[in-house]
Amino acid sequence: MSDNMVEVIREEGIAEVDEFIAGHPKGHFMQTSYWAKQKPEWQHLAIARRDADGKIVGAMSMLIRKVPKLPYTLMYCCRGPVCDPSDEETILDLLAASKQLARTMRSYAVKIDPDLPKPSPVMEKCLERCGFKQVDGGKNFESAQPRFVFRLDISGKSEEEIMAAFDQKTRYNVRLAVRKGVVCKNAGEAGLDDFAALMDETGRRDGFVPRSRSYFENMLKNLGEYARLYMCYLPDGTPVSGAMAIHYGDKVWYLYGASSSEHREYMPNYLMQWEMIRWAVSLGCRIYDFRGVSGDLSPENPLYGLYRFKKGFGGDFIEFIGEYDYVMSRMLRKTVDLGKKMMVRRAMKKRGIGD
């Protein structure tokens, strides 16, 4: 590793990293300081590699969280590194620097899940060479970030061209929602109460512990112009669905969604996706990311309906290379993982989920 070309960047220099991520085709909002603000329980540092002219050519934003009651941490590079995925030298330097930083921070493991489709032979080879092991995350939503997603290429396309590529039923449902008088708007903080109520309903229905209202309120504040809360209302003002969308660089992501169990005949979710796609088009984005679906595409899978819904918008089904860990203490990792499972079970029981 060329030490003079790699550095750890702290708060005073982080704006330069954000700017690099915004301009890179592999940039991701979860690699920015804006997203780090959304995770105040984690410390945020970045590793950057520069070329001979001092220009950043690769970066890894690292979230570092202390293990409760123990003098150890977990280090997580969420959707990084951001660099040319064929630049072996930069990748190896960044990974080596992450391991050095982990030793300094007394981390029991370094977790990484690159925003790269499978196969990405250079990245996969570099991870293995540096001692990172792939985590078997399953085909559903067992990993920290979804391994399977739908992405829609909207580069240089008009709204009419994008709509024409939708499945016929998807186009029909978008237009049906409009005919029925569904209103979809960028609601901002004014929509938070409605969204939180829908999120709680969705969590009870689908068996997960939802984020709190304050989490989404903080997201709107921390990401500022990069975040929008879209809400769909019936003509009488009844809230029926909502979603958080994030823009950064040349992409928009559909991040969180919630919906009512009633009034589904109004097809609000179709209109909501279309309005978020329109936002991405207005920004001149290259990609609209529908985020996670199951990798098990059998119709018997309870998550197949989500796959079918997102597929109807004409995107590409993508499998990422997955989650990799560099483990420094296997015993501590097992202890922490067990503690996390117990906390989730208690939270679900408290909310009456899974009884």
Domain ranges of the chain: 3-142+320-350, 149-319
Q: Residue 339 pLDDT more than 80? A: no
Distance CA 132, CA 333 (A): 15
CA 183 to chain CA centroid, Å, is 26
- pTM flag (> 0.75): yes
Quick one: 3-142+320-350 is in which CATH superfamily? Gcn5-related N-acetyltransferase (GNAT) (3.40.630.30)
Beginning with the edge strand found earlier in the chain, give each strand of the sheet holding 183-186 in spatial order: 183-186, 227-233, 239-248, 251-259, 287-292, 148-153, 316-319
Phi, psi of 285 (to 5 degrees): -75, 160
How high is the pLDDT of residue 285? 98
Mean pLDDT, residues 208-214 taken together: 93
Is the pLDDT reported for residue 355 higher than 60? no
Which of 151, 126, 132 shows the shortest CA–CA distance to 319?
151
Q: Which residues contact 25 (CB under 8 A, 6 or more apart)?
A: 250, 286
> Given phi > 0 = left and psi -120 to 50 = alpha, else beta, which region is 253?
beta
pLDDT exceeds 90 at position 4:
no
Average pLDDT for residues 56-83, to the nearest whole number?
96
3-142+320-350 and 149-319: identical CATH topology: yes
The enclosing H or E element of 325 equals: strand 324-327
> What's the Cα-to-Cα distance from 125 to each of 9, 47, 91, 202, rounded to whole Å?
26, 20, 10, 40
Q: Residue 137: name the closest of 120, 116, 107, 113 by CA.
A: 113
pLDDT digits (tens, 9 = 90+) for 155-188: 999 999 999 999 999 999 999 999 999 999 999 9
Per-residue pLDDT, 354: 54
Q: What is the pLDDT of residue 277?
A: 98
Nearest C-alpha neighbor of 242 from the set 272, 207, 279? 272
DSSP code at position 119: P
Q: Indicate whether 9 pLDDT > 60.
A: yes
In the structure, what pLDDT confidence band is assigned to residue 342 with cuts at 50, 70 and 90? low
Least confident of 117-131, 220-234, 305-319, 341-355: 341-355
DSSP characters for 193-247?
HHHHHHHHHHHHHHT--PPPHHHHHHHHHHHGGGEEEEEEE-TT--EEEEEEEEE
Confidence of residue 1 (pLDDT cuts 50, 70, 90): very low
DSSP 8-state class, residue 114: -
Other Cβ atoms within 10 Å of 47 Cβ, number:
25
> Could you tell me if 48 and 56 are in contact, meaning their C-beta atoms sit under 8 angstroms apart?
yes
DSSP 8-state assignment for residue 292 = E
Which residue matches tokens 């609209």? 288
Residue 112 has pLDDT above 60, yes or no: yes
Q: Residue 343's pLDDT band (boundaries 50, 70, 90)?
A: low
Between 297 and 330, residue with greater pLDDT = 297
- Candidate CATH numbers 3.40.50.1010, 2.160.20.10, 3.40.50.2000, 3.40.630.30; the one for domain 149-319: 3.40.630.30
